[in-house]
Amino acid sequence: MINWYISTEVISQLCTFTIQFFYMDIVLKAQLNLLIHLAMVDGEVSDQERQMITQIAEKNNFDSFDLETMFRYPKPMESFGALSNDAKFDYLYQVVRLMNIDDDMDKRELLFCQDMAMRLGYRKEVIDELWEALVNDSELQMDREALKTKVQRYNPFI
């Protein structure tokens, strides 16, 4: 007879991994949905916008069929209150990067990004700071941690 004893430590680690996996999946879906909404705000999704969103999805092993479904049927945006500060910064960074990707900043895109900044707990002026940093660093060489520290002054909750 085989003894199938599993320690509580192993069970605890497995549960923690499972929770983190599903949390990351939910966070990634919400981020992709947000980026898709931004890409669509000016009435069309450019090839560069679609490519950037697809790269983020592929980097995170997100199913391509699910991504295409999201492009066709984007879901309403949800609350961002439960996100960690790191996740909020990442959302904001990716939103500004996407706005800059096709070298054609539409006024609607800017307003969308400012609205997202405020929903994420930042003041809308953070978009100007991130925009300037990304325009001056087109090769994305700037240390993201340094940039995150720089823009935290726009979030009164940190």
Q: Is residue 34 part of a domain?
A: yes
Q: What is the pTM of this model?
A: 0.72
Q: Is residue 120 part of a domain?
A: yes
Question: Looking at residue 92, what DSSP letter applies?
Answer: H
pLDDT-above-90 percentage for the chain: 29
Q: Is residue 116 part of a domain?
A: yes
Q: Is residue 39 part of a domain?
A: yes
Q: Is residue 3 part of a domain?
A: no
Q: What is the mean pLDDT of residues 44-53?
A: 92
User: What per-residue confidence (pLDDT) applies to 115?
Assistant: 92
**If we measure between CA atoms, which residue out of 80, 145, 86 comes closest to residue 116?**
80
- Residues contacting residue 67 through CB under 8 Å, at least 6 positions apart: 32, 53, 54, 57
Look at residue 36 and tell me whether its pLDDT is greater than 50.
yes
CATH at 60: 1.10.3680
Q: Is residue 13 part of a domain?
A: yes
- Residues contacting residue 85 through CB under 8 Å, at least 6 positions apart: 155, 158
Q: Is residue 112 part of a domain?
A: yes
**If we measure between CA atoms, which residue out of 61, 80, 52, 54 comes closest to residue 140?**
52
Domain that holds residue 40: 8-154
Between 60 and 27, whose confidence is greater? 60
Residue 107: pLDDT band (50, 70, 90) is confident
DSSP string, 5-23: ---HHHHHHHHHHHHHHHH
Query: Average model confidence (pLDDT) for the chain?
Result: 81
Q: Is residue 1 part of a domain?
A: no
Q: What is the mean pLDDT of residues 104-116?
A: 86
Instruction: Report residue 136 as tokens.
Output: 């001056």
Provide the number of structural domains found in the chain: 1
Residue with tokens 């980026």: 35
CA distances from 26 to 12, 32, 46, 106 (A): 21, 10, 25, 29
User: CA 39, CA 113: separation in Å to the nearest integer?
Assistant: 11
What are 64-105's pLDDT values in tens digits?
Answer: 999 999 999 999 887 777 788 888 888 898 888 888 887 777
Question: Looking at residue 82, what DSSP letter applies?
Answer: T
Computed over its alpha carbons, how large is the radius of gyration of the chain?
A: 18
